[in-house]
């Protein structure tokens, strides 16, 4: 695959760099440098800046307001954003439910929801996992019973990222009876979080942040018009959405930037009489092996982007990206913790408060390595655990 940039692509890269240099808000940039958590307004403001440039719907078709970028332009954009350490695009609207709606939704649903998703005027969250249904998603039990022109929804979703900020949630719900096989009785439903009977309970993670939540539904009335696709056939929407989610989880460009930072930090870290840690043959071998995996992953991502640009689904390649992308990211976390040594021990949630007067420790600081490591443990689980992804590859690629 030839990834040398054409004059047009080089001009596009300069346009992206100019935008990031001039329009990336200084306060958000500072928060990202310090590893401070972003507020809802920070995410929205950044994504709306992208929308104003027409750069929000990276993988959306042009007829729905997408960029129409080539795979190389998408690669350039993600790489430059990683270099500038911008916030990641919150995926639930732009990367997940948006593609489901423009692929399976009615014309009325497209007109109602897509413009607000593209402009980040509405915050979405994902209702897939349940307290007893995670990797075996087809066992979900959130029940939606049709009564007239509404569904009555009862049950609980869990691990719902950023639900505390969400305006809407897209949910997999069970609408079929016990006579249907599990996958055949699931529907894809859009639910307004302000509907009476919806309640959000925060869950605090290992690093101390309340990033995920349980969402409880008690006699929640949802209009039938909010059903996407056909009743009892939402599993098709679910699989389509997950392939897009897994592709985005890989975060290849950001891992490349982190790899460069790892080398820089290692070159400045003493390792006894051998000089810097980067001169230690055992440590250097681990870095080289990881770099080789990252290069291979990058080419897989480029092939996947080419399929998306041709209007195809990512397919099983998304599972490969998800597995290797999260494994590479977690291996980088481990190397950063090893570099930090005793400096990785502190995890000080108070540093994110307005009254904190000490030194902020962000992802660019070795003292922040522990928080990144702890938070990123979940990456190999969400979007479908890596064990499940291996089963998908065996079935779809090897036919076993």
Token readout for 358 is 């000490």
- Please report the pLDDT score of residue 312 as a whole number: 64
Average pLDDT over residues 14-42: 93
CATH code matching the domain that covers 123-232, chosen among 2.40.110.10, 2.40.50.140, 3.40.50.1470, 2.100.10.30: 2.40.110.10
The sign of the CA dihedral 76, 78, 81, 83 is: negative
Token readout for 142 is 């959130």
pLDDT tens profile 86-98: 999 999 999 999 9
Contacts of residue 217, defined as CB under 8 A and 6 or more positions apart, other chains included, come to 142, 153, 154, 155, 156, 157, 191, 197, 198
Domain boundaries for CATH 1.20.140.10 within the chain = 250-396
Give CA–CA dist 225/228, Å, rounded: 8
Q: List b or e across 17-47, with b for residues whose CB sees 16 or more CB atoms inside 10 angstroms.
A: eebbeeebeeebbebbebbbebeeebbbbbb
Give the residue with greater pLDDT, 264 vs 22.
22
Where is mean pLDDT largest: 163-167, 208-212, 243-247, 333-337? 163-167
pTM equals: 0.82
Average pLDDT over residues 276-296: 88
For residues 222 and 194, is the Cβ–Cβ distance under 8 A?
no
Token readout for 253 is 């460009």
Average pLDDT over residues 50-66: 94
Domain boundaries for CATH 2.40.110.10 within the chain = 123-232
Give CA–CA dist 140/174, Å, rounded: 7
pLDDT tens profile 152-191: 999 999 999 999 999 999 999 999 988 888 889 999 999 9
Give the residue with greater pLDDT, 320 vs 131.
131
- The pairs formed by 141-145 with CB atoms below 8 angstroms and a separation of 24 or more are 141/174, 142/171, 142/172, 142/173, 142/174, 142/217, 143/173, 143/174, 143/175, 144/173, 144/174, 144/175, 144/187, 144/189, 144/222, 145/175
Adjacent-strand bridge partners of 124: 168
Q: Which CATH architecture has domain 250-396?
A: Up-down Bundle (1.20)
The sign of the CA dihedral 18, 24, 29, 30 is: positive
- Please report the pLDDT score of residue 179 as a whole number: 85
Percentage of the chain with pLDDT > 70?
87
- Please report the pLDDT score of residue 19 as a whole number: 98
For residues 56 and 118, is the Cβ–Cβ distance under 8 A?
yes
Q: Out of 161-170, 226-235, 267-276, which region has the weakest mean confidence (pLDDT)?
A: 267-276
Q: How many CA atoms lie within 13 A of 149 on its CB side?
A: 2
DSSP, residue by residue, 20-32: HHHHS-HHHHHHH
- Please report the pLDDT score of residue 355 as a whole number: 60
Give CA–CA dist 206/193, Å, rounded: 27
Average pLDDT over residues 105-130: 97
């Amino acid at each position: 695959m030839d990834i040398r940039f054409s004059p047009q692509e080089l001009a596009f890269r300069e346009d992206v760099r100019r935008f990031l240099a001039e329009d990336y808000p200084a306060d958000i940039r500072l928060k990202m440098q310090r590893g401070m958590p972003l507020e809802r307004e920070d995410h929205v403001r950044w994504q709306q800046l992208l929308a104003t440039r027409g750069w929000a719907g990276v993988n959306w078709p042009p007829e729905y307001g997408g960029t129409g970028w080539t795979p190389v332009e998408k690669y350039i954009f993600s790489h430059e954003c990683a270099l500038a350490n911008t916030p990641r695009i919150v995926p639930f609207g732009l990367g997940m439910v948006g593609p489901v709606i423009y692929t399976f939704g009615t014309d009325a649903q497209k007109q109602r929801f897509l413009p607000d998703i593209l402009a980040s005027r509405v915050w979405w969250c994902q209702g897939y996992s349940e307290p007893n249904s995670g990797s075996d998603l087809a066992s979900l039990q959130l029940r939606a019973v049709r009564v007239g022109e509404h569904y009555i929804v009862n049950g609980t979703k869990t691990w719902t990222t950023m639900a505390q900020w969400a305006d809407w949630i897209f949910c997999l719900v069970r609408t079929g009876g016990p006579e249907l096989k599990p996958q055949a009785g699931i529907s894809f439903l859009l639910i307004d979080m302000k509907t009476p009977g919806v309640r959000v309970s925060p869950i605090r993670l290992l690093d101390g942040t309340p990033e995920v939540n349980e969402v409880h539904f008690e006699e929640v009335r949802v209009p039938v018009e909010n059903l996407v696709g056909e009743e009892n056939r939402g599993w098709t929407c679910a699989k389509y959405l997950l392939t897009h989610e897994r592709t985005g989880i890989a975060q290849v460009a950001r891992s490349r930037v982190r790899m460069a930072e790892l080398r820089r930090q290692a070159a400045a870290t003493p390792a006894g009489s051998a000089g810097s840690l980067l001169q230690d043959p055992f440590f250097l071998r681990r870095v080289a092996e990881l770099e080789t995996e990252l290069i291979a992953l990058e080419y897989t991502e480029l092939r996947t982007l080419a399929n998306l640009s041709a209007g195809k689904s990512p397919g099983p390649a998304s599972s490969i990206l998800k597995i290797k992308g999260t494994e590479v990211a977690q291996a980088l976390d481990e190397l950063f913790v090893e570099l930090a040594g005793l400096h990785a021990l502190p995890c000080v949630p108070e540093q994110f408060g307005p009254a904190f007067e000490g030194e902020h420790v962000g992802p660019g600081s070795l003292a922040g390595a522990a928080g990144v490591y702890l938070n990123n443990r979940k990456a190999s689980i969400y979007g479908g655990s890596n064990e499940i992804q291996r089963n998908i590859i065996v079935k779809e690629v090897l036919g076993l």
